[in-house]
Amino acid sequence: GEDVEQSLFLSVREGDSSVINCTYTDSSSTYLYWYKQEPGAGLQLLTYIFSNMDMKQDQRLTVLLNKKDKHLSLRIADTQTGDSAIYFCAVSGGSQGNLIFGKGTKLSVKP
Amino acid sequence: GAVVSQHPSRVICKSGTSVKIECRSLDFQATTMFWYRQFPKQSLMLMATSNEGSKATYEQGVEKDKFLINHASLTLSTLTVTSAHPEDSSFYICSARDRVAGGLKQYFGPGTRLTVL
């Protein structure tokens, strides 16, 4: 089945850019997502990208997709302390139409 | 934007009791709702898929008699944890797929923290 991998931790200084990486195995995944989860809370959809796109930018967020390498990244420009959270990469393609999630990357932003 | 609510947000119960969790799509119709479970510092694992008007589809290893799912309408799905035990303690999250958007967007509820003593 589909496997989604992410690094578990990332630490950056406030004002720097953060880049969170994700790899997946199923090339037929049509939609790829980034979700944010703050402590004790549910998941917030940050952005998504179609598999026929290479890049999508939305304010401070830039998503890059390398379909050949099955690599997805999320870049957060001018990272703020409020961006500290766990970021999940997810891809479509579950057998029930569900999403397949990575284990999440914990982003820590230091002042 | 689309909103999915869950109720209750937190529940503590004694071992052996049953707990019902509601998942509602507030401003859209959801033909499909998904129930996930998230253990501490783990990813979300799909438990079951709930389709309106039909029986739920359970993932391998999830007991259908223990986790009862009812998808009564296009805006409501319920998960009942029957005879809960401490190992059922977890964070349960539902998501709803927007019917009009062709299933592109899935919106997640805020989650329910279940603690079984």
117 residues of chain B, pLDDT tens digit each: 668 999 999 999 999 999 999 999 998 888 889 999 998 878 889 999 998 888 899 999 999 999 999 988 889 999 999 999 999 999 999 999 876 665 567 888 999 999 999
Query: How high is the pLDDT of residue A15?
Result: 97
Most distant CA pair in chain B, distance: 41
Report yes or no: A44 at the B interface, CB cutoff 8 Å: yes
CA dihedral sign, ordered A79, A39, A91, B23: negative
Average pLDDT of chain B? 90
Are the Cβ atoms of A97 and B103 closer than 8 angstroms? yes
Identify from A2, A98, A101 which residue to disrupt to test chain B contact, counting B C-beta atoms within 10 A and taking the largest count.
A98
- Chain A residues with CB inside 8 Å of B97's CB? 97
Angstrom distance (rounded) from CA B90 to CA A103: 16
Least confident of A2-11, A93-102, B58-67: A93-102
The whole-number average pLDDT for the span A46-71 is 93
Query: How high is the pLDDT of residue A42?
Result: 83
Query: How high is the pLDDT of residue B51?
Result: 86
For residue A109, count other CB atoms closer than 10 A to its CB: 20
- With 80 as the cut, is the pLDDT of residue A27 above it? no
For residue A62, count other CB atoms closer than 10 A to its CB: 17
Q: Which residue of B has its CA nearest to A30?
A: B104
Query: How high is the pLDDT of residue B97?
Result: 85
Are the Cβ atoms of A98 and B34 closer than 8 angstroms? yes
Are the Cβ atoms of A104 and B109 closer than 8 angstroms? no
Token pair, residue A99, equals: 């999403």
- With 90 as the cut, is the pLDDT of residue A108 above it? yes
- Chain A residues with CB inside 8 Å of B46's CB? 94, 96, 98
Contacts of B12 (CB under 8 A, 6+ apart): B115, B116, B117
- Confidence label for A29 from pLDDT (cuts 50, 70 and 90): confident
